[in-house]
Structure 1
Amino acid sequence: LTIAGLLMVPFAIVVPEVMGIGYDTVQHTLDNQLPFWLLLGAGIAKLIITSVTLGLGMPSGVIGPTLFMGATLGGAMGLIGAQIFPDTASSVGFYAMLGMGAMMGAVLQAPLAALMALMELTRNPNIILPGMLVITTASLVTSEAFGKKSLFLTILKSQGLSYQNSPVIQALRRVSVGAIMDRSILRTERFLSREEAGKILKSEPKWLVVEGSNGPTALLPAVDLARYLEDTKPSASSGQEDEAEVPEQVDLMDIPANRRDIAPVQYQATLEEALNEFEHTSVEALYVQRHVAPMIQRIYGVVLKADIESYYQYRRS
Protein backbone atom coordinates (compact mmCIF):
# COMPACT_ATOMS: atom_id res chain seq x y z
CA LEU A 1 0.00 0.00 0.00
CA THR A 2 2.84 2.39 0.82
CA ILE A 3 4.65 1.75 -2.47
CA ALA A 4 1.42 2.19 -4.44
CA GLY A 5 0.73 5.47 -2.64
CA LEU A 6 4.22 6.80 -3.33
CA LEU A 7 3.98 5.88 -7.00
CA MET A 8 0.64 7.66 -7.20
CA VAL A 9 2.08 11.01 -6.02
CA PRO A 10 3.76 12.18 -9.29
CA PHE A 11 0.75 11.13 -11.35
CA ALA A 12 -1.60 12.96 -9.00
CA ILE A 13 0.51 16.15 -9.25
CA VAL A 14 0.90 16.12 -13.05
CA VAL A 15 -2.51 14.66 -13.99
CA PRO A 16 -4.90 15.09 -11.03
CA GLU A 17 -7.75 13.64 -13.13
CA VAL A 18 -6.45 10.13 -12.41
CA MET A 19 -7.37 10.47 -8.74
CA GLY A 20 -10.52 8.75 -7.57
CA ILE A 21 -13.00 6.95 -9.77
CA GLY A 22 -12.89 9.69 -12.39
CA TYR A 23 -16.55 9.76 -13.40
CA ASP A 24 -16.42 13.58 -13.51
CA THR A 25 -13.64 13.35 -16.09
CA VAL A 26 -15.70 10.83 -18.05
CA GLN A 27 -18.64 13.23 -18.06
CA HIS A 28 -16.44 16.11 -19.24
CA THR A 29 -15.10 13.88 -22.01
CA LEU A 30 -18.60 12.98 -23.18
CA ASP A 31 -19.45 16.69 -23.26
CA ASN A 32 -16.28 17.49 -25.28
CA GLN A 33 -14.94 19.82 -22.61
CA LEU A 34 -11.36 18.47 -22.41
CA PRO A 35 -8.46 19.06 -24.84
CA PHE A 36 -6.69 16.27 -26.74
CA TRP A 37 -3.44 16.17 -24.80
CA LEU A 38 -5.24 16.07 -21.47
CA LEU A 39 -7.40 13.18 -22.63
CA LEU A 40 -4.40 11.28 -23.98
CA GLY A 41 -2.27 11.95 -20.90
CA ALA A 42 -5.04 11.08 -18.45
CA GLY A 43 -5.81 7.82 -20.29
CA ILE A 44 -2.17 6.69 -20.40
CA ALA A 45 -1.54 7.74 -16.79
CA LYS A 46 -4.63 5.85 -15.60
CA LEU A 47 -3.49 2.78 -17.52
CA ILE A 48 -0.04 2.83 -15.93
CA ILE A 49 -1.11 3.51 -12.36
CA THR A 50 -3.99 0.99 -12.49
CA SER A 51 -1.66 -1.74 -13.77
CA VAL A 52 0.94 -0.97 -11.12
CA THR A 53 -1.51 -0.87 -8.20
CA LEU A 54 -3.19 -4.11 -9.29
CA GLY A 55 0.20 -5.74 -9.68
CA LEU A 56 1.13 -4.68 -6.15
CA GLY A 57 -1.97 -6.43 -4.81
CA MET A 58 -4.12 -3.37 -4.11
CA PRO A 59 -7.77 -4.38 -3.49
CA SER A 60 -8.97 -1.85 -6.06
CA GLY A 61 -11.67 -2.24 -8.66
CA VAL A 62 -11.19 -2.37 -12.41
CA ILE A 63 -14.58 -1.38 -13.81
CA GLY A 64 -14.19 2.33 -12.98
CA PRO A 65 -10.64 2.62 -14.36
CA THR A 66 -11.69 0.66 -17.45
CA LEU A 67 -14.50 3.10 -18.21
CA PHE A 68 -12.17 6.03 -17.50
CA MET A 69 -9.47 4.80 -19.86
CA GLY A 70 -11.95 3.89 -22.56
CA ALA A 71 -13.66 7.27 -22.41
CA THR A 72 -10.49 9.38 -22.41
CA LEU A 73 -8.64 7.43 -25.08
CA GLY A 74 -11.77 7.09 -27.18
CA GLY A 75 -12.41 10.81 -26.85
CA ALA A 76 -8.82 11.53 -27.93
CA MET A 77 -9.32 9.39 -31.02
CA GLY A 78 -12.57 11.23 -31.66
CA LEU A 79 -10.75 14.56 -31.66
CA ILE A 80 -8.24 13.17 -34.15
CA GLY A 81 -11.10 12.01 -36.37
CA ALA A 82 -12.76 15.41 -36.11
CA GLN A 83 -9.55 17.07 -37.28
CA ILE A 84 -9.07 14.72 -40.23
CA PHE A 85 -12.72 14.41 -41.33
CA PRO A 86 -14.52 17.39 -39.84
CA ASP A 87 -17.60 16.96 -42.02
CA THR A 88 -18.20 13.24 -41.49
CA ALA A 89 -16.91 12.58 -37.95
CA SER A 90 -19.40 12.03 -35.15
CA SER A 91 -19.34 13.80 -31.82
CA VAL A 92 -16.49 13.22 -29.39
CA GLY A 93 -18.91 11.73 -26.88
CA PHE A 94 -19.86 9.02 -29.39
CA TYR A 95 -16.24 7.90 -29.73
CA ALA A 96 -15.78 8.08 -25.97
CA MET A 97 -18.72 5.69 -25.54
CA LEU A 98 -17.25 3.30 -28.10
CA GLY A 99 -13.91 3.47 -26.29
CA MET A 100 -15.60 2.53 -23.02
CA GLY A 101 -17.22 -0.48 -24.68
CA ALA A 102 -13.97 -1.53 -26.36
CA MET A 103 -12.07 -1.37 -23.06
CA MET A 104 -14.71 -3.44 -21.28
CA GLY A 105 -14.69 -6.04 -24.03
CA ALA A 106 -10.89 -6.27 -24.03
CA VAL A 107 -10.21 -6.18 -20.29
CA LEU A 108 -13.15 -8.26 -19.08
CA GLN A 109 -13.43 -10.50 -22.17
CA ALA A 110 -17.21 -10.08 -21.91
CA PRO A 111 -18.32 -8.61 -25.27
CA LEU A 112 -22.04 -9.13 -24.69
CA ALA A 113 -21.89 -7.44 -21.28
CA ALA A 114 -19.95 -4.53 -22.81
CA LEU A 115 -22.53 -4.12 -25.57
CA MET A 116 -25.38 -4.19 -23.06
CA ALA A 117 -23.55 -1.55 -21.00
CA LEU A 118 -23.42 0.72 -24.05
CA MET A 119 -27.14 0.24 -24.57
CA GLU A 120 -27.91 1.05 -20.93
CA LEU A 121 -25.65 4.13 -20.88
CA THR A 122 -26.87 5.64 -24.15
CA ARG A 123 -30.42 4.27 -24.52
CA ASN A 124 -29.80 4.54 -28.23
CA PRO A 125 -30.11 1.42 -30.43
CA ASN A 126 -28.11 3.12 -33.19
CA ILE A 127 -24.93 2.43 -31.22
CA ILE A 128 -25.36 -1.35 -31.52
CA LEU A 129 -23.66 -1.79 -34.91
CA PRO A 130 -20.55 0.35 -34.28
CA GLY A 131 -20.46 -0.99 -30.72
CA MET A 132 -20.41 -4.58 -31.97
CA LEU A 133 -17.61 -3.71 -34.38
CA VAL A 134 -15.24 -2.12 -31.85
CA ILE A 135 -16.06 -4.48 -28.96
CA THR A 136 -15.60 -7.64 -31.05
CA THR A 137 -12.37 -6.31 -32.55
CA ALA A 138 -10.98 -5.36 -29.13
CA SER A 139 -11.91 -8.72 -27.61
CA LEU A 140 -10.40 -10.71 -30.48
CA VAL A 141 -7.18 -8.68 -30.50
CA THR A 142 -6.77 -9.25 -26.76
CA SER A 143 -7.55 -12.98 -26.79
CA GLU A 144 -6.18 -14.09 -30.15
CA ALA A 145 -3.33 -11.68 -30.91
CA PHE A 146 -2.01 -11.36 -27.35
CA GLY A 147 -3.38 -14.61 -25.89
CA LYS A 148 -4.82 -12.91 -22.80
CA LYS A 149 -7.85 -13.96 -20.79
CA SER A 150 -10.18 -11.87 -18.68
CA LEU A 151 -8.45 -9.68 -16.10
CA PHE A 152 -10.39 -11.37 -13.31
CA LEU A 153 -9.21 -14.82 -14.42
CA THR A 154 -5.66 -13.51 -14.70
CA ILE A 155 -5.77 -12.17 -11.14
CA LEU A 156 -7.16 -15.47 -9.83
CA LYS A 157 -4.44 -17.42 -11.61
CA SER A 158 -1.69 -15.14 -10.26
CA GLN A 159 -3.02 -15.75 -6.74
CA GLY A 160 -3.01 -19.51 -7.25
CA LEU A 161 -6.81 -19.78 -7.13
CA SER A 162 -8.63 -22.19 -9.39
CA TYR A 163 -11.27 -20.97 -11.82
CA GLN A 164 -11.75 -24.13 -13.88
CA ASN A 165 -15.17 -25.74 -13.85
CA SER A 166 -14.76 -28.77 -16.08
CA PRO A 167 -16.53 -32.00 -15.02
CA VAL A 168 -13.16 -33.58 -14.23
CA ILE A 169 -12.12 -30.76 -11.91
CA GLN A 170 -15.53 -30.69 -10.23
CA ALA A 171 -15.32 -34.41 -9.53
CA LEU A 172 -11.80 -34.13 -8.11
CA ARG A 173 -12.80 -31.23 -5.86
CA ARG A 174 -15.34 -33.37 -4.01
CA VAL A 175 -12.88 -36.06 -2.89
CA SER A 176 -9.98 -35.76 -0.45
CA VAL A 177 -6.66 -37.50 -0.81
CA GLY A 178 -7.45 -39.49 2.32
CA ALA A 179 -10.14 -41.39 0.42
CA ILE A 180 -7.79 -42.94 -2.13
CA MET A 181 -4.37 -42.92 -0.45
CA ASP A 182 -2.51 -46.17 0.15
CA ARG A 183 -2.08 -46.63 3.90
CA SER A 184 0.27 -49.61 3.65
CA ILE A 185 3.42 -47.60 4.32
CA LEU A 186 6.29 -47.57 6.76
CA ARG A 187 8.73 -44.75 7.48
CA THR A 188 12.33 -45.84 7.69
CA GLU A 189 15.82 -44.41 7.79
CA ARG A 190 18.02 -44.54 4.73
CA PHE A 191 20.70 -46.79 6.25
CA LEU A 192 19.60 -50.09 7.81
CA SER A 193 21.28 -53.24 8.96
CA ARG A 194 20.17 -56.46 7.32
CA GLU A 195 18.47 -57.46 10.56
CA GLU A 196 16.52 -54.16 10.72
CA ALA A 197 15.53 -54.51 7.08
CA GLY A 198 14.22 -58.01 7.78
CA LYS A 199 12.12 -56.76 10.70
CA ILE A 200 10.63 -54.04 8.50
CA LEU A 201 9.60 -56.55 5.86
CA LYS A 202 7.91 -58.75 8.49
CA SER A 203 5.24 -56.05 8.94
CA GLU A 204 4.47 -56.46 5.20
CA PRO A 205 4.28 -52.83 4.09
CA LYS A 206 3.71 -52.03 0.42
CA TRP A 207 5.74 -48.83 0.42
CA LEU A 208 8.75 -47.59 2.35
CA VAL A 209 9.05 -43.84 2.94
CA VAL A 210 12.78 -43.14 3.13
CA GLU A 211 13.70 -40.37 5.55
CA GLY A 212 16.31 -37.79 4.59
CA SER A 213 17.99 -34.95 6.41
CA ASN A 214 15.04 -32.63 5.70
CA GLY A 215 12.19 -35.11 5.89
CA PRO A 216 10.93 -37.82 3.54
CA THR A 217 13.02 -37.93 0.40
CA ALA A 218 11.94 -40.99 -1.61
CA LEU A 219 9.32 -43.71 -1.93
CA LEU A 220 10.52 -47.28 -2.29
CA PRO A 221 8.49 -50.42 -3.01
CA ALA A 222 9.06 -52.85 -0.14
CA VAL A 223 9.25 -55.72 -2.60
CA ASP A 224 12.43 -54.20 -4.06
CA LEU A 225 14.08 -54.30 -0.64
CA ALA A 226 12.97 -57.91 -0.20
CA ARG A 227 14.40 -58.82 -3.60
CA TYR A 228 17.70 -57.17 -2.76
CA LEU A 229 18.00 -59.02 0.55
CA GLU A 230 17.22 -62.26 -1.20
CA ASP A 231 19.74 -61.66 -3.97
CA THR A 232 22.52 -60.75 -1.54
CA LYS A 233 21.71 -63.45 0.99
CA PRO A 234 24.78 -65.64 1.61
CA SER A 235 24.20 -69.27 0.75
CA ALA A 236 25.19 -72.13 3.01
CA SER A 237 27.57 -73.55 0.42
CA SER A 238 29.38 -70.28 -0.25
CA GLY A 239 32.87 -69.75 0.99
CA GLN A 240 34.12 -67.35 3.60
CA GLU A 241 35.29 -64.89 0.94
CA ASP A 242 31.75 -64.65 -0.49
CA GLU A 243 30.29 -64.04 2.96
CA ALA A 244 32.71 -61.16 3.48
CA GLU A 245 31.42 -59.47 0.32
CA VAL A 246 27.82 -59.37 1.60
CA PRO A 247 27.22 -55.81 2.90
CA GLU A 248 26.05 -55.64 6.48
CA GLN A 249 24.45 -52.21 5.95
CA VAL A 250 21.70 -51.54 3.43
CA ASP A 251 21.52 -48.13 1.74
CA LEU A 252 17.95 -47.72 0.53
CA MET A 253 19.00 -44.94 -1.85
CA ASP A 254 21.68 -47.10 -3.45
CA ILE A 255 20.15 -50.56 -3.85
CA PRO A 256 18.49 -51.47 -7.19
CA ALA A 257 14.88 -50.31 -6.79
CA ASN A 258 12.12 -48.35 -8.47
CA ARG A 259 12.41 -45.27 -6.26
CA ARG A 260 10.06 -42.33 -6.68
CA ASP A 261 10.60 -38.68 -5.81
CA ILE A 262 8.00 -37.48 -3.31
CA ALA A 263 6.50 -34.25 -2.04
CA PRO A 264 4.06 -33.53 0.81
CA VAL A 265 0.33 -32.90 0.55
CA GLN A 266 -1.96 -32.11 3.45
CA TYR A 267 -4.50 -34.65 4.67
CA GLN A 268 -7.43 -32.30 4.04
CA ALA A 269 -6.36 -31.54 0.45
CA THR A 270 -8.64 -32.49 -2.44
CA LEU A 271 -7.65 -34.59 -5.41
CA GLU A 272 -7.61 -31.41 -7.50
CA GLU A 273 -5.03 -29.87 -5.17
CA ALA A 274 -3.00 -33.09 -5.25
CA LEU A 275 -3.07 -33.07 -9.05
CA ASN A 276 -1.88 -29.46 -9.07
CA GLU A 277 0.93 -30.44 -6.70
CA PHE A 278 2.03 -33.15 -9.14
CA GLU A 279 2.16 -30.58 -11.95
CA HIS A 280 4.02 -27.93 -9.95
CA THR A 281 6.62 -30.19 -8.35
CA SER A 282 7.04 -32.84 -11.09
CA VAL A 283 7.34 -35.56 -8.44
CA GLU A 284 6.15 -39.12 -8.89
CA ALA A 285 4.32 -39.56 -5.58
CA LEU A 286 2.86 -37.53 -2.71
CA TYR A 287 2.93 -38.48 0.95
CA VAL A 288 -0.16 -37.44 2.88
CA GLN A 289 0.66 -35.69 6.15
CA ARG A 290 -1.15 -33.83 8.91
CA HIS A 291 -0.05 -31.69 11.85
CA VAL A 292 -0.68 -33.62 15.06
CA ALA A 293 1.37 -31.34 17.30
CA PRO A 294 3.58 -28.28 16.92
CA MET A 295 6.53 -29.16 14.66
CA ILE A 296 5.29 -32.75 14.39
CA GLN A 297 3.95 -34.19 11.13
CA ARG A 298 2.35 -37.59 10.86
CA ILE A 299 2.29 -39.43 7.55
CA TYR A 300 -0.90 -41.36 6.83
CA GLY A 301 -0.34 -42.70 3.34
CA VAL A 302 0.90 -42.10 -0.18
CA VAL A 303 -0.85 -41.11 -3.40
CA LEU A 304 0.39 -41.74 -6.93
CA LYS A 305 -0.77 -39.80 -9.95
CA ALA A 306 -2.06 -43.05 -11.40
CA ASP A 307 -4.29 -43.44 -8.34
CA ILE A 308 -6.06 -40.16 -9.12
CA GLU A 309 -6.50 -41.08 -12.77
CA SER A 310 -7.79 -44.55 -11.88
CA TYR A 311 -10.27 -43.09 -9.40
CA TYR A 312 -11.80 -40.74 -11.95
CA GLN A 313 -11.99 -43.49 -14.61
CA TYR A 314 -13.70 -45.76 -12.07
CA ARG A 315 -16.24 -43.06 -11.18
CA ARG A 316 -17.02 -42.46 -14.85
CA SER A 317 -17.66 -46.12 -15.51
Structure 2
Amino acid sequence: MATTSNVIEARSLTKRFGRHSALEGIDLSIGAGSVFGLIGPNGAGKTTAMRLMVDVIRPTSGTLRILGDDPRSAGPSLRASIGYLPGELRLESRITGRAMLNHFAEISGPVASGTINDLADRLHLELDRPVRTLSKGNKQKLGLVQAFMHRPPLLILDEPTSGLDPLVQQEFLAMVREARNGGQTVFLSSHVLSEIQQAADEVALLRAGRIITVSTVDELRAAAVRHVRARFASTTPDAVRSSVAGVASLSSLEVAGAQDVTTLTATVSGEIDAFVKAIARFTVVDLVVEEPDLEESVLTLYETGETDVQR
Protein backbone atom coordinates (compact mmCIF):
# COMPACT_ATOMS: atom_id res chain seq x y z
CA MET A 1 0.00 0.00 0.00
CA ALA A 2 1.33 3.44 -0.89
CA THR A 3 2.45 5.93 1.76
CA THR A 4 0.64 9.26 2.00
CA SER A 5 -0.05 11.97 4.54
CA ASN A 6 -3.72 12.03 3.55
CA VAL A 7 -6.07 9.09 3.87
CA ILE A 8 -8.42 10.49 1.20
CA GLU A 9 -7.18 12.71 -1.63
CA ALA A 10 -9.47 13.81 -4.47
CA ARG A 11 -8.60 16.25 -7.24
CA SER A 12 -11.10 17.51 -9.82
CA LEU A 13 -13.14 14.34 -9.22
CA THR A 14 -16.08 14.16 -11.60
CA LYS A 15 -18.76 11.55 -12.20
CA ARG A 16 -21.37 11.78 -14.94
CA PHE A 17 -24.22 9.42 -15.75
CA GLY A 18 -25.05 10.21 -19.35
CA ARG A 19 -25.83 13.90 -19.46
CA HIS A 20 -26.35 14.12 -15.70
CA SER A 21 -23.39 15.31 -13.64
CA ALA A 22 -23.53 13.66 -10.19
CA LEU A 23 -20.18 15.11 -9.05
CA GLU A 24 -18.35 18.01 -10.64
CA GLY A 25 -14.74 18.90 -9.82
CA ILE A 26 -14.56 17.66 -6.23
CA ASP A 27 -11.36 18.49 -4.29
CA LEU A 28 -10.78 16.92 -0.86
CA SER A 29 -7.81 16.27 1.41
CA ILE A 30 -8.55 14.29 4.60
CA GLY A 31 -5.82 13.43 7.07
CA ALA A 32 -5.45 10.42 9.34
CA GLY A 33 -7.16 10.29 12.70
CA SER A 34 -9.97 12.70 11.82
CA VAL A 35 -13.73 12.60 11.34
CA PHE A 36 -14.92 14.23 8.14
CA GLY A 37 -18.59 14.88 7.51
CA LEU A 38 -20.28 15.30 4.15
CA ILE A 39 -23.57 17.21 4.43
CA GLY A 40 -26.08 17.50 1.64
CA PRO A 41 -29.71 16.89 0.76
CA ASN A 42 -30.78 13.76 -1.05
CA GLY A 43 -29.41 13.84 -4.58
CA ALA A 44 -26.47 16.11 -3.73
CA GLY A 45 -23.90 13.43 -4.64
CA LYS A 46 -22.90 12.07 -1.24
CA THR A 47 -23.50 8.40 -2.08
CA THR A 48 -21.81 8.78 -5.47
CA ALA A 49 -18.67 10.11 -3.79
CA MET A 50 -18.54 7.18 -1.39
CA ARG A 51 -19.13 4.58 -4.10
CA LEU A 52 -16.19 6.02 -6.02
CA MET A 53 -14.00 5.62 -2.93
CA VAL A 54 -14.73 1.91 -2.65
CA ASP A 55 -14.63 1.30 -6.44
CA VAL A 56 -18.29 0.35 -6.76
CA ILE A 57 -18.40 2.89 -9.57
CA ARG A 58 -15.56 4.67 -11.35
CA PRO A 59 -14.92 8.37 -12.00
CA THR A 60 -15.49 10.04 -15.33
CA SER A 61 -12.42 12.21 -14.77
CA GLY A 62 -10.11 13.48 -12.05
CA THR A 63 -7.94 11.59 -9.57
CA LEU A 64 -8.75 9.76 -6.35
CA ARG A 65 -6.39 8.21 -3.82
CA ILE A 66 -7.58 6.20 -0.84
CA LEU A 67 -4.87 5.32 1.71
CA GLY A 68 -2.41 6.31 -0.99
CA ASP A 69 -3.78 3.98 -3.67
CA ASP A 70 -6.06 4.28 -6.67
CA PRO A 71 -9.23 2.30 -5.79
CA ARG A 72 -9.47 1.11 -9.40
CA SER A 73 -6.21 -0.84 -9.21
CA ALA A 74 -5.48 -1.43 -5.52
CA GLY A 75 -7.51 -4.64 -5.28
CA PRO A 76 -8.62 -6.61 -2.21
CA SER A 77 -5.85 -5.29 0.07
CA LEU A 78 -7.30 -1.79 -0.05
CA ARG A 79 -10.88 -2.96 0.38
CA ALA A 80 -9.83 -4.93 3.47
CA SER A 81 -8.48 -1.67 4.92
CA ILE A 82 -11.86 0.03 4.64
CA GLY A 83 -14.97 -0.44 6.76
CA TYR A 84 -17.83 0.45 4.42
CA LEU A 85 -21.48 0.92 5.23
CA PRO A 86 -23.59 1.62 2.10
CA GLY A 87 -26.49 4.02 2.23
CA GLU A 88 -28.96 1.40 1.03
CA LEU A 89 -28.14 -1.73 3.00
CA ARG A 90 -29.95 -4.79 1.67
CA LEU A 91 -29.62 -7.89 3.84
CA GLU A 92 -32.09 -10.70 3.17
CA SER A 93 -30.07 -13.78 4.05
CA ARG A 94 -31.54 -16.81 5.84
CA ILE A 95 -28.38 -17.21 7.93
CA THR A 96 -27.98 -15.57 11.33
CA GLY A 97 -26.32 -12.23 11.90
CA ARG A 98 -23.44 -13.99 13.65
CA ALA A 99 -22.85 -16.31 10.70
CA MET A 100 -22.95 -13.37 8.31
CA LEU A 101 -20.40 -11.40 10.36
CA ASN A 102 -18.12 -14.44 10.53
CA HIS A 103 -18.32 -14.64 6.74
CA PHE A 104 -17.45 -10.93 6.42
CA ALA A 105 -14.52 -11.46 8.80
CA GLU A 106 -13.03 -13.98 6.39
CA ILE A 107 -13.10 -11.29 3.70
CA SER A 108 -12.07 -8.21 5.66
CA GLY A 109 -9.31 -9.78 7.71
CA PRO A 110 -8.70 -10.73 11.34
CA VAL A 111 -11.23 -9.65 13.95
CA ALA A 112 -10.05 -9.63 17.55
CA SER A 113 -11.71 -12.16 19.82
CA GLY A 114 -14.82 -10.80 21.50
CA THR A 115 -15.06 -7.71 19.27
CA ILE A 116 -18.22 -8.80 17.46
CA ASN A 117 -20.03 -9.55 20.72
CA ASP A 118 -18.85 -6.29 22.29
CA LEU A 119 -20.10 -4.20 19.36
CA ALA A 120 -23.39 -6.10 19.23
CA ASP A 121 -23.93 -5.50 22.95
CA ARG A 122 -23.23 -1.80 22.58
CA LEU A 123 -25.73 -1.49 19.75
CA HIS A 124 -28.32 -3.82 21.36
CA LEU A 125 -28.16 -6.21 18.42
CA GLU A 126 -29.30 -9.83 18.69
CA LEU A 127 -26.86 -11.90 16.61
CA ASP A 128 -28.58 -15.27 16.54
CA ARG A 129 -31.71 -14.36 14.61
CA PRO A 130 -31.95 -14.90 10.83
CA VAL A 131 -30.94 -11.72 9.07
CA ARG A 132 -34.08 -11.60 6.93
CA THR A 133 -36.24 -11.37 10.09
CA LEU A 134 -34.46 -8.27 11.40
CA SER A 135 -36.00 -4.80 11.34
CA LYS A 136 -34.45 -2.01 9.28
CA GLY A 137 -32.79 -0.61 12.41
CA ASN A 138 -31.29 -3.96 13.39
CA LYS A 139 -30.00 -4.55 9.87
CA GLN A 140 -28.35 -1.14 10.11
CA LYS A 141 -26.72 -2.21 13.38
CA LEU A 142 -25.45 -5.35 11.66
CA GLY A 143 -23.95 -3.20 8.92
CA LEU A 144 -22.22 -1.03 11.51
CA VAL A 145 -20.73 -4.03 13.28
CA GLN A 146 -19.28 -5.39 10.01
CA ALA A 147 -17.79 -1.97 9.22
CA PHE A 148 -16.16 -1.46 12.63
CA MET A 149 -15.26 -4.99 13.70
CA HIS A 150 -11.84 -5.36 12.01
CA ARG A 151 -10.76 -1.87 13.10
CA PRO A 152 -9.82 -0.66 9.63
CA PRO A 153 -7.73 2.48 9.18
CA LEU A 154 -10.60 4.04 7.21
CA LEU A 155 -14.35 3.93 7.82
CA ILE A 156 -16.67 5.12 5.03
CA LEU A 157 -20.20 5.36 6.37
CA ASP A 158 -23.15 6.51 4.25
CA GLU A 159 -26.06 7.80 6.36
CA PRO A 160 -24.93 5.54 9.24
CA THR A 161 -27.69 6.34 11.75
CA SER A 162 -30.59 5.69 9.38
CA GLY A 163 -33.22 3.66 11.23
CA LEU A 164 -31.47 3.84 14.63
CA ASP A 165 -33.24 5.02 17.76
CA PRO A 166 -31.75 8.04 19.62
CA LEU A 167 -29.94 5.99 22.30
CA VAL A 168 -28.24 3.81 19.71
CA GLN A 169 -27.35 6.92 17.71
CA GLN A 170 -25.49 8.24 20.74
CA GLU A 171 -23.65 4.94 21.12
CA PHE A 172 -22.68 5.10 17.46
CA LEU A 173 -21.27 8.60 17.96
CA ALA A 174 -19.24 7.28 20.91
CA MET A 175 -17.85 4.54 18.62
CA VAL A 176 -16.87 7.19 16.07
CA ARG A 177 -15.03 9.21 18.71
CA GLU A 178 -13.21 6.12 19.92
CA ALA A 179 -12.19 5.25 16.36
CA ARG A 180 -10.78 8.74 15.84
CA ASN A 181 -8.94 8.64 19.17
CA GLY A 182 -7.44 5.31 18.09
CA GLY A 183 -6.02 6.85 14.90
CA GLN A 184 -8.72 5.68 12.48
CA THR A 185 -10.19 8.06 9.91
CA VAL A 186 -13.96 8.30 9.59
CA PHE A 187 -15.69 9.67 6.50
CA LEU A 188 -19.43 9.87 6.99
CA SER A 189 -22.31 11.42 5.15
CA SER A 190 -25.57 12.65 6.52
CA HIS A 191 -28.48 14.99 6.04
CA VAL A 192 -28.94 14.95 9.85
CA LEU A 193 -26.97 18.05 10.71
CA SER A 194 -26.97 17.58 14.48
CA GLU A 195 -25.24 14.24 13.93
CA ILE A 196 -22.43 15.89 11.96
CA GLN A 197 -22.23 18.65 14.53
CA GLN A 198 -21.55 16.12 17.30
CA ALA A 199 -19.20 13.85 15.38
CA ALA A 200 -17.10 15.67 12.81
CA ASP A 201 -13.90 17.69 12.94
CA GLU A 202 -14.40 19.07 9.45
CA VAL A 203 -17.47 19.37 7.27
CA ALA A 204 -18.01 19.71 3.53
CA LEU A 205 -21.30 21.08 2.24
CA LEU A 206 -22.31 19.44 -1.03
CA ARG A 207 -24.91 20.95 -3.33
CA ALA A 208 -25.80 19.62 -6.80
CA GLY A 209 -22.55 17.69 -7.04
CA ARG A 210 -20.30 20.57 -6.03
CA ILE A 211 -18.61 21.35 -2.72
CA ILE A 212 -19.63 24.86 -1.73
CA THR A 213 -17.55 25.02 1.45
CA VAL A 214 -15.20 23.01 3.64
CA SER A 215 -14.91 24.18 7.22
CA THR A 216 -14.51 23.04 10.78
CA VAL A 217 -17.69 22.60 12.78
CA ASP A 218 -16.57 25.50 15.00
CA GLU A 219 -16.21 27.76 11.96
CA LEU A 220 -19.62 26.75 10.73
CA ARG A 221 -21.08 27.50 14.14
CA ALA A 222 -19.40 30.92 14.10
CA ALA A 223 -21.17 31.65 10.81
CA ALA A 224 -24.44 30.26 12.14
CA VAL A 225 -27.45 32.17 13.41
CA ARG A 226 -28.48 32.64 17.02
CA HIS A 227 -31.96 33.43 18.23
CA VAL A 228 -31.90 35.89 21.13
CA ARG A 229 -34.64 36.92 23.56
CA ALA A 230 -33.99 39.59 26.18
CA ARG A 231 -36.02 41.59 28.71
CA PHE A 232 -34.94 44.95 30.10
CA ALA A 233 -36.11 47.05 33.05
CA SER A 234 -36.18 50.85 33.35
CA THR A 235 -35.95 51.63 29.66
CA THR A 236 -38.15 52.10 26.61
CA PRO A 237 -38.54 50.18 23.34
CA ASP A 238 -37.25 53.22 21.44
CA ALA A 239 -34.06 53.36 23.50
CA VAL A 240 -33.36 49.67 22.96
CA ARG A 241 -34.17 49.87 19.26
CA SER A 242 -31.88 52.87 18.84
CA SER A 243 -29.00 51.19 20.67
CA VAL A 244 -28.99 48.01 18.56
CA ALA A 245 -29.91 49.64 15.24
CA GLY A 246 -26.30 49.83 14.08
CA VAL A 247 -25.43 46.18 14.81
CA ALA A 248 -24.62 44.71 11.41
CA SER A 249 -25.10 41.08 12.53
CA LEU A 250 -28.82 41.55 13.26
CA SER A 251 -30.95 39.95 10.57
CA SER A 252 -34.28 40.43 12.37
CA LEU A 253 -35.44 42.54 15.31
CA GLU A 254 -38.66 43.01 17.28
CA VAL A 255 -38.91 45.30 20.33
CA ALA A 256 -42.01 45.79 22.45
CA GLY A 257 -42.85 47.29 25.83
CA ALA A 258 -45.37 46.29 28.52
CA GLN A 259 -45.62 47.07 32.25
CA ASP A 260 -42.23 48.76 32.55
CA VAL A 261 -40.45 45.87 30.83
CA THR A 262 -39.07 46.05 27.31
CA THR A 263 -38.77 42.78 25.39
CA LEU A 264 -36.41 42.21 22.47
CA THR A 265 -36.48 39.28 20.06
CA ALA A 266 -33.70 39.13 17.47
CA THR A 267 -31.77 36.90 15.12
CA VAL A 268 -28.01 37.39 15.15
CA SER A 269 -25.94 36.05 12.28
CA GLY A 270 -22.28 35.28 12.94
CA GLU A 271 -20.42 37.01 15.78
CA ILE A 272 -22.56 38.11 18.71
CA ASP A 273 -20.06 40.43 20.43
CA ALA A 274 -21.35 43.72 18.92
CA PHE A 275 -24.92 42.86 19.89
CA VAL A 276 -23.95 42.06 23.50
CA LYS A 277 -22.09 45.37 23.81
CA ALA A 278 -25.08 47.26 22.38
CA ILE A 279 -27.46 45.97 25.08
CA ALA A 280 -24.92 46.16 27.93
CA ARG A 281 -25.98 49.71 28.84
CA PHE A 282 -29.44 48.48 29.91
CA THR A 283 -30.57 46.56 32.98
CA VAL A 284 -31.03 43.03 31.67
CA VAL A 285 -33.77 41.12 33.51
CA ASP A 286 -33.59 37.99 31.37
CA LEU A 287 -31.45 36.84 28.44
CA VAL A 288 -31.79 33.67 26.36
CA VAL A 289 -29.33 32.90 23.55
CA GLU A 290 -30.10 29.67 21.71
CA GLU A 291 -27.26 27.45 20.62
CA PRO A 292 -26.07 28.14 17.08
CA ASP A 293 -28.53 26.45 14.76
CA LEU A 294 -26.32 24.55 12.32
CA GLU A 295 -29.27 23.45 10.22
CA GLU A 296 -30.51 26.98 9.70
CA SER A 297 -26.99 28.14 8.84
CA VAL A 298 -26.50 25.36 6.31
CA LEU A 299 -29.86 26.02 4.68
CA THR A 300 -28.81 29.66 4.29
CA LEU A 301 -25.60 28.52 2.63
CA TYR A 302 -27.57 26.32 0.23
CA GLU A 303 -29.78 29.25 -0.70
CA THR A 304 -26.87 31.61 -1.38
CA GLY A 305 -24.15 29.18 -2.50
CA GLU A 306 -21.70 31.45 -0.68
CA THR A 307 -19.92 31.45 2.68
CA ASP A 308 -17.22 33.31 4.54
CA VAL A 309 -15.55 30.09 5.65
CA GLN A 310 -14.70 28.82 2.17
CA ARG A 311 -11.28 27.21 1.92
TM-score above 0.5, yes or no? no
Which has more radius of gyration? 1
How does the TM-score come out when normalised to structure 2? Answer: 0.26
Structure with greater proportional helix content: 1
| Larger RCO, structures 1/2 (Cα 8 Å, 6+ apart) | 2
How does the TM-score come out when normalised to structure 1? Answer: 0.26
